[in-house]
Structure 1
């Protein structure tokens, strides 16, 4: 579990660093850094289930917004036939950026959920 959390922590720090040229880094840097801090603490065997649930709830709510947003995931899937998101790193179409952000939220949710359930099991 320690190695997994170190990997998650470093990955989220890298993700946050890559947001510097994003149109909304003030949103995405805190999202990734929040996950990085919690994973870093978990790597040190400090678990905060309440903070995991807060993050999961906020990220899930934002993911729902991203899904139904104009040019969001729903548009990518229905109107653009799930076009390749990784063809180029440049997000030339608005639904590419929105869909990538959606999946970024689910990576954060996954990491926090793993730590939440591990902490609950460890406590029991």
Structure 2
């Protein structure tokens, strides 16, 4: 888990840095840095289950809104035939921008979820061991 978290902490810092010239860096830099901070803490052995859950719920809410937005992911997939979102770095159409943002959120959600499940299982295992000693 340490390597997983170090890799994603570094990636999220890089993703945040790439947002500097984005039209809305004030939204995306904190989102990516949120992931970076909690991956960095997890790499150091400090897990914060409640903060993972908060991040998952917040990012999931935003992702759902991007999915169903007028020029969102659903529009990209159905009306625009899932055109290439990696062609040019500067998104010239709103459905490409929203789709890229959706997948960025998806990555953060998956990483936070992996940490949430890991610490949940680790704590449950610890609790079972404790209960075995008592019983």
Tell me the TM-score normalised to structure 2 length: 0.90
**Hey, which bits of structure 1, 4+ residues long, moved more than 3 A?**
none
The whole-number CA distance in structure 2 between the counterparts of 1:113 and 1:20 is 27
Q: Report deviation, 1:89.
A: 1.6
Tell me the residue number matched to 2:58.
58
Equivalent pairs counted in the alignment come to: 124
| Structure 1 residues 20-99: aligned runs within 5 Å | 20-99=20-99
Q: Report deviation, 1:83.
A: 0.6
The whole-number CA distance in structure 2 between the counterparts of 1:15 and 1:87 is 18
The whole-number CA distance in structure 2 between the counterparts of 1:20 and 1:70 is 25
Q: Report deviation, 1:29.
A: 0.5
The whole-number CA distance in structure 1 between the counterparts of 2:50 and 2:90 is 37
Q: Report deviation, 1:80.
A: 0.4
Q: 1:2-38, CA deviations, whole angstroms, 9 ceiling, x for partnerless residues?
A: 0010000000000000001111111001100001000
Which protein, 1 or 2, shows the higher relative CO under an 8 Å CA cutoff with sep ≥ 6?
1
Tell me the TM-score normalised to structure 1 length: 0.98
In the alignment, is residue 9 of structure 1 matched against residue 32 of structure 2?
no
The whole-number CA distance in structure 1 between the counterparts of 2:43 and 2:116 is 13
Q: Report deviation, 1:65.
A: 0.5
Q: Gaps (5+ residues) in structure 2?
A: 125-135
The whole-number CA distance in structure 2 between the counterparts of 1:123 and 1:68 is 37
| Structure 1 residues 93-108: aligned runs within 5 Å | 93-108=93-108
